[in-house]
Structure 1
Amino acid sequence: MTKNLDYSRRDSGANVASNDDTQRLMAAGQRLAAEVSRLFTSQTDDRHYWLETMVNHVPDYIYAKDLEGRFLIANRATVIDNGFTEMEELVGKTDYDLHPHDMVAKTVEAERQVIATGSPIFGMEERAFIDKGYERWLMTSKVPLRNKQGVTIGIVGVSRNISDRKKAERLLLGQARLLEMIAKSTPLADFFKELILLIEAHLPGIIGSILLLSEDGRHLLTGAAPGLDDAYCAAVHGTAIGPKVGSCGTAAWRGEPVFVADILSDPLWEDVADLVRPFGYRSCWSMPIMSYQGKVLGTFALYSHKVGLPSAEQNELISMAAHLAGIAIERQQSEERIQFMAHHDALTGLPNRVLFDSCVATALQQARITGQWVALAFLDLDNFKLINDTMGHHAGDELLRIAAGRMLDCVRKSDMIVRVGGDEFIILLTGLPPDSGVVTSRLETIRAAIGAPLVLSGRSLQVSCSMGVVCYPDHGQTATELLANADSAMYRAKEVGRNNLQLFDAEMAAKVRAKLRRHEELRDAVARGEFVLHYQPEMNLKTGRIFAAESLLRWQHPERGLVSPADIIPLAEETGLIVPIGDWVLNEACRQNKAWQDAGLPPIVVSVNVSARQFRERNWVSRVAEALEESGLEARYLELELTESLIMQDVGAAIATMHELQALGVHLAIDDFGTGYSSLSALKSFPVRRLKIDRSFVQHIPGDADDMAITGAIISLAQKLQIAVIAEGVETQAQVDFLRASGCDDVQGYFVSRPVKPCAFAALMA
């Protein structure tokens, strides 16, 4: 019973203890729950704190707005930039409450679109409402703000400051625009202004200036300075450069940057500080504008009303601007040089024919209005070629420059001296009274100036000139007509002995018209094929055999009959038709000689005269080869006759061409020997087979002892050089007897036969 009781007591005590434990456990649980709740609340608060701290440390704008655009929450950057210190001051306000309505309208519209469509906007670029003293740009993204049920209750926005990027983009675009302006040859003043405005937009408070170095390299001239005071620009215009002339004058002098932090205290400015003091500029940073070759072209400078030196960014912009300015200046200088070269003679600097043609029409039009005269003179230096050949091309060039300078000294700015080419000039005098005496007096003054003594290559000499003069309107109505008539008058001046002036007259006009008519006739003759060849036999006195023939050109004129070479060749040389005519003669002579051979006549050599113009053609040798190939004539039956004067124009080139012709197998002869001016030293190097003694030495034999002596000397010289010799123009038995006795066995002339047609020559051969 007792045990049971004891037992029951133990059970009763256990129950009591169990209740206490439960209570303790419940208390402990409550304490644990409280601690867990405290810890959870603490962690939540910590997360909120850290989230808020993190957001407030972000420099970007982060904010949320309700459906009416009222701020619900914003980070510190948004609060501060809107002019508040605590977020509570911003909450509840809209952008309309904070900024001008016209500025925020676009932003509000974008937010309404996000709310209405539920679609976010990312990367929208917009101008900042608050500029902080400089233009600011933001990149903004806006997304819908939704509650737990997914209903849109506002927007969340994030904006990042992209001002530096936009600034760099604008600078790159500005540089591209400036390079495009250079490529399009924009006037320098416009380019400089655009360049300075670009730099000033990039550096608020800074003022740009460009000064250009004068042609004498000693002064600075205003190029552009849109932001500087006009009075200051006028004061510095023309400032001489030097080692102590402010920032720009010194930079141009040194050829290196000069950055002055304080104008009023820097020694470089002490002599010119009074120029700048009234305008309040305190610092000036100048960079020389350099050419590609390192030559100073000017300066680019930045001014500031504050004391200080440029930052790294400003320094870089100064260098960039100076470099672009240098490119633009050099581009313009290059274009000006090209334009000058296109319209001026490189040797004398005088206008050329292109510029003359563009100006003379204007001068004539003005004369029609005013009733005044225009005088035009064609001028040619006498014996210039002799000076050029004897004293060298350098001396000839110097003579042309001296003559050009003397002419320029005698005319007004409204007049024009033109170098046509070689030693020929055109003088254009405008605004003259209708008096030929005034015209000739003015031009005689020029002629006298040219003829004044001069020293050339250490030698004292005088040079005269021949001048042909025409006056508008009496001597022509157009520039072409006036030039042609002046040219005719000049040739008349040469015909009467050079060193004189000839005024165009009616007789010259008639000659000019006749000359032009002959030119046209000759062109028609070439087109219609009105030329024929006659052949004059060449005979050996020992055998009496005809061994060769010279082909001689004739013009079968439809009205005047047969025209001799004496009337054809000068005309052909003047017109340039000598080349096609010469080609025809070469081909026809080869064809005819082959035709005679095919007809069974004894093979002979046919000689063809070659003009200087033909001989200088680049493909002359190949033309000869083609003529032989097309006709089928062997080269040994063709002889080309060259004159001494032709060969001596360029001895080296002539000998080279002669060797090429010799390599073809063609024979070469020197025609009219003794009338040119070849030297014996040159003669021995010519690859020629024959010398032809000119008829002028033969025709007075035996009556002229001098001609006999000269002819005998030529024969003896040819024999010693082992060159064959033939005498031209032989007409009498006495001449034949003298030539035979002197050792000349070959003759050509009326003694043998006159030049005859191909059929008559064939009969003569038969």
Structure 2
Amino acid sequence: MPHNRAVRLSTLSWLILALGLLISAFAALQVKRVGEADAVKNFAFSADQLAIKIEERLAAYALVLRGGAGLFDASDAVTREEWRQYAAKLQISEVAGGIEAIGFARLLRPEELAGHIAQMRAEGFADYRIRPAGRRPLYGTVLFLEPFRDRNLLALGYDMFSDPVRRAAMLQARDTGRAALTGKVELVTETAGQAQPATLMYVPVYRKGTSWNTLVQRRQALIGWSYGAYRMQDLMHGIFGDRLAHPEQPVGLRIFDGDRADPHQLLYQNLDRPHQAAPSPFFQQRLIDFNGRQWLLTFDHANPAAGVDHTAAWATLSGGTALSMLLFSLIRSMSRTRSRALALAEQLTGEIRQRERQFEQLLTRLQTIASRVPGVVYEYRLYPDGRSSFPYASEGIRQIYRISPEQARENAAAVFTAIHPDDLEDVAASIQRSADQLAPWRHEYRVRFEDGTQRWVFGDSVPHREEDGSISWYGVITDITARKQAELALREANRQTRHFREALDQLSSYIYMKDTDSRYIYANRATLELFGCTAATLAGSRDEQFFPLDTARRLRQIDARVFAGEQTREEVESIGKDGRRTVFLEIKTPIYDEPEQQAVVGLLGISTDITPLKTHEQQLEQLAHYDALTNLPNRILLADRLHQAMLQARRHHQSLAVVYLDLDGFKAVNDHYGHAAGDKLLMTVAARMKEVIREGDTLCRLGGDEFVAILLDLNDVDASKPLLNRLLQAAARPVSLGRHRLQVSASLGVTFYPQAEELEPEQLLRQADQAMYQAKLAGKHRYHLFDAEQDRSLRSHHESLEHLRAALHAGEFVLFFQPKVNMRTGEVLGAEALLRWQHPQQGLLPPAHFLPIIEEHPLAVELGNWVIDAALQQIREWQQQGLSLPVSVNIGARQLRQRDFARQLQELLGHYPDIAPRLLELEVLETSALGDLAQISQLLEDCRGLGVGLSLDDFGTGYSSLTYLKRLPATIVKVDQSFIRDILEDPEDLAILDGILGLASAFGRQVIAEGVETREHGDMLLRIGCDLAQGYGIARPMPAAELPAWVARWRPEPHWAGLRRLNREELPLLYAGIEHRAWLQEVTATLTSGSRSWPPLDPELCRFGAWLAGQPPLAPARREALAELHRRIHDQAEQLRLAHQEGRSRDAQALLATLFELGDQLLAQLESCLE
């Protein structure tokens, strides 16, 4: 018994040592992995911070350049000094280091180069020129650059637009309105031995005051770019300083232009060492996108071996090992001798309990470590009887299987229930194989949960056979769902790609892909057979290897457009070595790396052999566009040729002629000799006419014996006449058919283009057709030129008449009313009805816009009757409102010539029996009464017999005013406004008006003055005895609805009622004042017009001086005062003339003001004489 117990104790000690060392090693391994993961996580965080720092610095530079663009929007013209001051105030090197320079590049077109170079040389840059030399569609020339010293001087005049890399960024900035970065470039300011990769940033500068919301507006408004230049080494040092070389975590940074780590696109690296074939666990990648320009940033630890602190792992391993050795020693010690153990039992009891506590603490630590490991750390045991359990499982089992460790501790059924039914058999089999062979168990399988979701997991463990025959596995099960899904997606993508390529190989079309260097990277089977190569030999080849050089060049041009983002559909013709012509329909579209990035990485092309189709099209084209008999262009092709010829004529500012040609006598030939003879005649005549026209001119057959010729590039009408005569001669030459000698002639109608108004091709043909008929009517065998001016005038007149007729029927005409008043008493005598057209598009139109059109047309009578009817209707409406007001209407000449006008007027009056006829007055224009004066006089007598009033309008403008005044039965004479307008300045107009007043008084007529514009006009009229007036000075024409309110509030000028009418003896004073006012107006006109002819400046030579010299009937003192003031006025005028001639404009203005003050004093003295 004691021996057996000692054996058991010895075995137990070794077992505990093995288990302790295993757990210690596993725990240390997990602590090592956690430490490495934390180090990688911290390194990734540092990489994120560095990437953000770069993005922030680029955004700051963009803001600086945006401020430079704003400088142009705030100033009309930015000078070099203003740009220098702006750059100096930015203090860029202090605020944001790393920037090489900021500048402004101006957009120039070829026609602006000479002026630009001259201006720069005038600024002091004597050797200034544009570099590189050569003519280009656009230039983006460096104009300003700060700091403008040292090597930056080399950039002045450099055309950035000449470099494709720079140009791409400049165009992107122009079209988007945002900052844009270039790809990898070398600055022109670099010197030998110091060059380093660089990049430039551009911000567009648009013309001040323009809108740039759309792409078209931005392109039109662009004047240049504000830009910054950055050497990458200096830029990164300005951003990070010594941060990348931090002793605790040195970072290796590489920056590539684009989204791939292409060594040719390397912009920056801080460690001078070759690219590692296998990156360290610290390796990170970040992609920066700056307005479409991508930079790939790669980060790695400069010393990966020193990047992870393994102190905790070593401490865990040391502690576990020490604890295991301690337990092993203890149990071995107990196994040596029972007696010693019994003797020392009491002593060791305390030590054992202490070690138990330590063991419990160690187990707790191991469990804590296991809980931190991703997935589940477990011990799985399979018993000989088939039962199984998980004696130990970490808390991760809750995430992997959604069960607790306790649920699987005695029975593993809950774990196997969670395994997907389709994978359960394989899992069980793999466990059995591992148990049979004691081989590591590694297996991927799915678990499925009650909610239907499923996850992929991976088990990795090592088996151990227990003494009782059971097998125990120690290991980890981790969730690999994300990795598994990626693998499945990749496998599916590969499968679909394979099927897609197999499908493309079945197509007869030629399908291929190229990279951005136009090198083939894929082609389907049909393309490979066409080229006579294999997929392996095709890769990297170009079109020059398979097509003639001109065809390959055409294909490369199409490729370039596709790489610029355009989808193309082009027909390409190729001539093979055997001379065989083949036509391909090439459809190409860009291939984008990522659709939202719009970065073109290649193209996809589909090519189809359409040679048979093109041959068929040509046959159809011939049938569709050419006459089968004469092989001349037919009517369809004529329409296209004429359209193109009209476009060319407009573009080159030349004329063309359209000749419509009809054969005279052809029908008789056709009827007498038969259709075959007629066809032969047509063919012969057509060939002759085609011979006599020039190359570039077109002869078409419309059908039958009708032809049309288009004659191009004519300087004038006369240039066409030799061609027309040759056509006539060619058509008239006899044609021999067997024994018969046939002869026809031609009639030509000719019209020209362009004309004053734009025409369609069909209109030109109609014009030529009309002219051809005129030629036939004139005797045939001749040409007739179409008169476009006469045709346009007739059409315009007819269109205007139709518009007016439609407006009348649509009710668009309205009446406005202008009051007629007695200025002395304030009485409103009536109102004149004035016609207006309320045009739907042009608004309210006065009668001068439309009445002349219908002056001699029956529509004038219809419209005149409408005016009378509308006036009577308005009188009725006013009467219903309590206002009884006479209304006068104008009667036109056409109405007066209607013999039944009186009857028509009677019918109109009959429609309004409640209106007294005296409330309607007919105004007869003096010029409208020309003709049979006796007939018109009788007609007006008949109208007066109906009770209406009559007045003679615009008196004084006709040829026989006295005759009309005597013969026509008008009770009122309206003096034309042309005699009223200038009575304040023109004594002749005042004399005419005075004469009209005398005549009207002699014949017993009342006088109304039209065109009273001001209060002064009213004063003058009242003084000479004309109390009745009408004009804007009284009231403007107004709608009918406003007139009652105006009548209610109308009041004449307060002084008009007491203004005395002058007698004949006082009129010379009135004329004297007008003479003086006219003299002042002449002085003003001389100053404003620049004329050297002044009115009389001698006081005795002007008309007012002559009046004074005539001893007017004034008191001597008053006459002397007027004479003195008159002399002062003329002296002032003489001084004004001298100042004006000497160019003393300020003195002239002051003298002119004084002159008018003195003139007002003279007029005031004359006014006092009248009082």
TM-score interval for Structure 1 and Structure 2 normalised by the shorter chain: 0.3 to 0.5
Larger radius of gyration, structure 1 or 2? Answer: 2
* TM-score between both structures, scaled by the size of structure 1: 0.36
* TM-score between both structures, scaled by the size of structure 2: 0.24
